[in-house]
Amino acid sequence: MSLVWYPPELPRPERAPYQVTRGDGRSRRAEDAGPPNVRRRFSAVASTVAFSTILTRAQLARFDRFFDEEIKQGTLPFLMPAPDTDGLPLLTDDGTPLLTDAGVPILVAETWLCLIGQQMPSRAPSSPGSVQWRVTFDIAVMP
């Protein structure tokens, strides 16, 4: 079985609700006095990403096909370029883009292995009377 890619023709997520939350792999035990005892419970945990994007009607149909047929209503993993880093120029400490010998910027390439998270995709018009749709869901990014 080969993994499918999140459709590249769909836009990147909106910046406003986009949020990455690190998974918690710790185990805590309350003590009679003092701070709780904390230790590592898992060596690797998934991060959760709150994802929202604005889609046209045609893009919504493509998303529906991806969700229903390609990842079987969120039960199969998929690959996705990291929306916050993939394709951006690699920068020096002072913010200057690093260039190749030919003067072309070096771009960051980062791919996530994902599953649909707890919040299944929901859709609503992006604004009253709009022909665009806001689709919102969670993504679990595997370690």
Give per-residue pLDDT as tens, 98-123.
999 999 999 999 999 999 999 999 99
Helices (DSSP H) in the chain: which residue ranges? 57-65
Of 17-26, 47-56, 59-68, 83-92, which gets the smallest average pLDDT? 17-26
Comparing CA positions, the residue from 75, 141, 85 lying closest to residue 113 is: 141
- To the nearest 10°, the Cα dihedral for 21, 87, 93, 142? 30
Percent of the chain with pLDDT over 70: 92
**Which has the closest alpha carbon to 20: 134, 121, 140, 143?**
140
pLDDT at 4 over 80: yes
Contacts of the segment 13-16: beta carbons below 8 A, 24+ positions apart: 13/51, 13/52, 13/53, 13/83, 14/52, 14/53, 14/54, 14/134, 16/52
Q: Which amino acid is at 42?
A: F
- DSSP E strands, 41-109: 47-55, 78-81
Instruction: Answer whether residue 1 shows pLDDT above 70.
Output: no
DSSP state at residue 14: P
Indicate the SS3 state at residue 131.
coil
Which range, 16-20, 32-36, 37-41, 75-79, is most confident? 75-79
23-46 pLDDT tens trace:
766 667 777 777 777 766 666 788
